[in-house]
Chains A and B, each alone.
Chain A
Amino acid sequence: MKKSEVPQDKSALEHFTREVCYVKNEEGQYDTALSTGWETKKVALDQAWEEIDRRINDAKEQVLKGEASPILYFMELKLMDLSVLAGYTKFWKWQIKKHMKPAAFAKLSEAQLKRYANAFDISVAELTNTTFK
């Protein structure tokens, strides 16, 4: 990539930082240049977020229909998977899967709910009385 060809497109990095790219200068030698972003990868990142939003909405539908507990919704909302959530809550993955069923969720103790709430950075009240944003 030539220094003159470094893309300077609008991206999520705006107001945060510019990124270092390794490029060829006019003498044909390597140099660095700062870039604000590249549209080609911005679209890829935007689409990854659209997919996340789709998963969050799916989870919300399942909770509203009574097919899943709010744990599924918040796991998706916080971009987690079972391994990450198991790490933060210290529950086993199979326990989390169980707690994702509304019946098992209803039986969780205050202390257990607290572990989930902490993992999601919310209060127990927000977890049990989910108001979907």
Chain B
Amino acid sequence: MKPFEHHQTAHCENGVTVSLLKQQGLDFMTEPLAFGMGSGLFYIHIPFLTVNNGPAISFRTMPGAIFKRTCKSLNVTVERKKFKSHQAASDALETLVKAGTSVGCQVGVFHLPYFPKEYRFHFNAHNLIVFGKEDGRYLVSDPVMEVTTSLSPEELEKVRFAQGALAPKGHLYYPKQVGIITEETIRKGIIKGIKRNCRDMLYIPGNVAGVKGIKYTANKIEGWRDKLGPRQAALHLGQIVRMQEEIGTGGGGFRFLYAAFLEEAAVILKNDELIGVSEQITKAGDLWRDSALQMSGIYKGRLTAQADFKASADILREISEVEKQAFKNLRALKL
């Protein structure tokens, strides 16, 4: 195994996947490849649920899925553990780190001391790597940070046992064994990732997930001004923009990251048609940025009319159509 190397990425789970696999000798790993093989792109607006008093929207697949799927596609077996006891969780980590294993940990960000205060909400699906211990402190590679950092055992225990939705329960994971990886393995992994992502974006029943979910949000937005009042409605739009653009997404609600994956896939699979789909996803990402700008006009108080809410909703409807066409084209390709 190679010495551990920190890689900064847009998204934490992609970053953990890339860094841990590269250490295992999988030099070809990139963030877009991990994201694409793991079928990371998604959209869901969960009805009746609120997060921080705003709409519950996600632009990516469920936490943990990217690491799990990418490792599986690449014949990498994974060890993972959750704990009831804090002591057992600390002991298990200590033993692994002593043995020289780099370990992925799920943590909550509220008590994460090296994060800016403004970003410290009770969000529990953050991921980092513990790659050593020096002078009684754990060495930490947090993929969204430019450089590595460290945490005291107490600080690490606290974030590993954060409470609330998606409580990590000391969750740790690491690649255990790497099987044989040929070029064919990588190609098959990419194709599998693409097919699964087409299914998730186009064919999940109901109207809240995939490209249909984007339209669902559009319809909701049109009703917010009357239903919630201008102040609360503006806060809701602000929350969409934050979920879409905040640190970790690579911009445009992960769409640019997925377009970058398709560009890499075009080279590996020697299929230029994938470039065309990549362009379509880029267009969707640009439209998401446009919609953020338009919504910011509302939450900055510059735009206040119902017509402005409708304009936001209409951009989302256009995005839904663009993504629908892109994924239909992607699905139709002979890969």
Q: A-side interface residues toward B, CB under 8 Å? A: 1, 12-13, 16-24, 29-30, 32, 34, 38, 40-41, 43-45, 47-49, 51, 79-81, 83-84, 86-88
List residues of chain A with CB within 8 A of the CB of B264: 30
Residues A18 and B146 in contact in the complex (CB < 8 Å), given A41-B246, A84-B164: yes
Q: Which of B122, B241, B282 contacts A79 (CB 8 A)?
A: B122
List residues of chain B with CB within 8 A of the CB of A40: 241, 245, 292-293, 296
Docked complex Cα distance between A21 and B257 (Å): 8
Q: Which partner residue on chain A sits nearest B9 by CB separation? A: A20
Q: Which partner residue on chain A sits nearest B8 by CB separation? A: A20
Residues A48 and B235 in contact in the complex (CB < 8 Å), given A17-B145, A19-B144: yes
Residues A41 and B121 in contact in the complex (CB < 8 Å), given A20-B10, A30-B260, A47-B299: no
Docked complex Cα distance between A47 and B242 (Å): 11
List residues of chain A with CB within 8 A of the CB of B145: 16-17
Residues A87 and B167 in contact in the complex (CB < 8 Å), given A20-B8, A43-B296: yes
Assess whether B10 is in contact with A19, with CB atoms less than 8 Å apart. Answer: yes
Assess whether A1 is in contact with B289, with CB atoms less than 8 Å apart. Answer: yes
Q: B-side interface residues toward A, CB under 8 Å? A: 8-10, 31-32, 52-53, 110, 114-122, 144-146, 163-165, 167, 234-235, 237-239, 241-242, 245-248, 250-252, 256-257, 259-260, 263-264, 278, 282, 285-286, 289, 292-293, 296, 299-300
Docked complex Cα distance between A44 and B286 (Å): 19
Nearest-CB distance from A22 to chain B (Å)? 4
Assess whether A45 is in contact with B250, with CB atoms less than 8 Å apart. Answer: no
The 7 closest A-B pairs by CB, nearest first: A87-B163, A44-B238, A12-B118, A84-B164, A30-B260, A22-B256, A20-B10
Q: Which of A12, A32, A38 contacts B119 (CB 8 A)?
A: A12
Assess whether B235 is in contact with A1, with CB atoms less than 8 Å apart. Answer: no
Assess whether A1 is in contact with B286, with CB atoms less than 8 Å apart. Answer: yes
Nearest-CB distance from A94 to chain B (Å)? 17
Of listed A17, A45, A79, residue having the most chain B CB within 10 A: A17
Q: Which partner residue on chain B sits nearest A2 by CB separation? A: B286
Assess whether A30 is in contact with B32, with CB atoms less than 8 Å apart. Answer: yes
Q: Can you list 13 pairs linking A and B with CB atoms under 8 Å apart? A: A12-B119, A13-B119, A16-B115, A20-B31, A22-B251, A40-B241, A41-B242, A41-B246, A44-B237, A45-B119, A79-B121, A84-B122, A87-B163
Assess whether B250 is in contact with A21, with CB atoms less than 8 Å apart. Answer: yes
Docked complex Cα distance between A48 and B115 (Å): 17
Further 18 A-B residue pairs, CB within 8 A, beyond A12-B116, A48-B238, A83-B165: A16-B115, A17-B145, A17-B247, A18-B146, A29-B263, A30-B263, A38-B245, A41-B242, A43-B299, A44-B296, A45-B119, A79-B122, A80-B122, A80-B164, A81-B164, A84-B163, A84-B164, A87-B163
